Structure 1
Amino acid sequence: MDRLAKQFLEEDAANKELYVQGIIFKNDRVLDVLNQKFNDYLFRIKLYSYIRKSIVFAAMDIKTMESEIREKEGLYLNVLDADFEEERINTIADAPMDFIEEIYGDKENIDYREIFADKEVLQAIETLTDRQKQIIHECIIKDKEEEMVAKELGITKQAVNKIKQAALNKLRKEVGGK
């Protein structure tokens, strides 16, 4: 409080004069005026402090909201065009992609360890012929129709079905199922 009183007296020369008249010469009327001016000074200090803190907290809230929005929206592609001082939208070329083909695309060497974690199943798959592995992969893992697999391999649908059933029976036997 001592620091505030010093600042109050230094703020205006009239305040020093009121202080001298009120405190030193014991003038009650001047003391009341001094007291009122000091209370006004304190009110201004508190008001300024309140406004300052409000601005700081509002700025912090805005910064938090902006970072949350930035996290949700990802990268912001718009840039300020130096020539026109306007925002310009940058774009990323979007190449068309067949997601089904991307997911189920043919792989040269199929690693069944990526598909199956059970060692017993992996050992059972290794007992199959290459043709059986190919048909099981196409029909079961890629979920293709037997007719489509038959067309791709140049054999009949019945041959695909026969090879698939033989492979499944062999897998059941190896794993110990019915």
Structure 2
Amino acid sequence: MIQNRLLKNFLNDAEIKELYQSYLEKPTTCKKEMIEKMFQIHGRKIQLLSYFSKTLTFESQKFDKKIRHNNKWNQLILDQNIDERGGKFLDLVADEQCYYDVEFNTPVESSELEMIFEDKQLYDIVSTLTEKQKKILYLLFVKNWTEEELAIELGVSKQAINKVKNYTLRKIKKEYESANRRNLNTN
């Protein structure tokens, strides 16, 4: 019985097996050369298949690496400013709300903001925020919602809520400080 896998695979072909049996019964140089030539062709086919297999593996890994690289560097950036008031691409995306809470669907009225902010300067700054930014701050700080509750309500991640909150607070602080500096310089 033949133990070599390459030879076993070679002899699986009926035509080659018949030629080999014929050679074993009546060995001739012509039959021997024919079998050797067919074996070389068989070996080349295996080498070629191995080469194609390795090439496909390499190319698929290269393609996957390229896709990951493109996804890393060409991310859709929804928090870029699109106007001078700090509006973002994210504000243009329609919200799909999980729950329909009357309190959430109503906009924050300016009278509510006036009651919250005694400082006129701070009120003016907050009034320039987008409705989404106002609503997030209102629900987090006035109504004491958690970021998780708000994220569920808006159908976004908790990190997205945190990011908007932090960005808005930094913006308010920056504008408030620059307004105070302007006031000091004019006085």
TM-score (norm 2): 0.45
Bigger-Rg structure (1/2) = 1
**Bigger relative contact order, structure 1 or 2, given CA contacts below 8 A and separation 6+?**
2
**Larger % of helix: which?**
2
